[in-house]
Structure 1
């Protein structure tokens, strides 16, 4: 992943944040997508000026994702992934694709 980020000119702390975001979104795709075959996903990176768009596509049903208003409880065993995405990215969301859905986020990388 870091090689792909470097090829988009994303380095240092921004690369660390981007790698974490990809890991969280990909982990959700594997765990929740129900794609065919189960857990299959695609990561798409796109850079425009000082912004990196990260998109993880899977075969799961499109969902309406809501942003958390507060951090998960300390004892919670799940629910931190999208909280991290919300905290680290400038914006994020979900869209339908012909084969399922795509969860995306935009990260400042200037």
Structure 2
């Protein structure tokens, strides 16, 4: 088990989301994981577009990104409620690894994603 997997299990191992995600992903092929990444990247690119075009966080196009983000998580990992998505958004700005993922695309994107998710 990798250090990342150990951290995930320690933090969320007793949650329904973790159990559901583990159950789903245990059946995935390499191709399934690749398809999940495509869906996640597509949602991120919607955020990049909205941010790059200075769209308001509550604009229809930005909220489309929020919905795509939640849908990809639900499709591939676990039922992602709005509340769960908001918890993830906090992690995107507080955890340097997640912040780097978004800000590595465009500086300031992590905060924008956070704010857009919280605006729903």
TM-score w.r.t. the length of structure 2 is 0.26
Question: Which structure is higher in strand share?
Answer: 1
| Larger Rg, first or second structure (1 or 2) | 2
Question: Which structure is higher in helix share?
Answer: 2
TM-score w.r.t. the length of structure 1 is 0.27
